[in-house]
């Protein structure tokens, strides 16, 4: 049963995720700044960890290396973990050039 739930969740993902441990910054409401550790990244979004208090639906800006600030919407939060979807697809290959 658990295996079926995991398989269905992975089928819903639109993009392959790249596991990382990338330390960067985020901005919330243009005022709150904080550290963000990106745990996985795709061209549609990210999963990360931060001390900034966020809620589902919050708009954030994430600093990506060689790209700059990218706008995203928080999809879920659990403690310090969060997932966010980029407002526009991002060519994440530029982060590693």
pLDDT at residue 2, rounded to an integer = 45
The answer to whether the CB of 60 falls within 8 A of the CB of 44 is: no
**Global pTM?**
0.82
- pLDDT score, position 7: 47
User: 12 with 42: CB under 8 angstroms?
Assistant: no
The domain ranges of the chain are 16-96
What are the pLDDT tens digits along the chain (97 aa)? 545 544 455 445 567 888 999 999 999 987 889 999 999 999 999 999 999 999 999 999 999 999 999 999 999 999 999 999 999 999 999 988 8
Cα 10 to chain centroid distance, Å, stands at 16
Pick the CATH number of 16-96 from 3.40.50.920, 3.50.50.60, 2.40.10.220, 3.90.1150.10: 2.40.10.220
The helix (H) or strand (E) run that includes residue 8 is helix 2-12
Q: Which residue has the tokens 């600030």?
A: 69
């Amino acid at each position: 049963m658990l295996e079926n739930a995991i398989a269905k969740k992975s089928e819903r993902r639109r993009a392959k995720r790249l596991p990382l441990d990338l330390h960067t910054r985020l901005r919330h409401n243009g005022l709150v700044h904080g550290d963000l550790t990106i745990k996985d990244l795709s061209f549609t979004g990210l999963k990360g960890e931060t001390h900034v208090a966020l809620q589902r639906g919050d708009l954030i800006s994430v600093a990506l290396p060689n790209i700059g600030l990218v706008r995203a919407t928080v999809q879920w939060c659990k403690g310090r973990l969060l997932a966010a979807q980029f407002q526009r697809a991002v060519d994440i290959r530029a982060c590693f050039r």
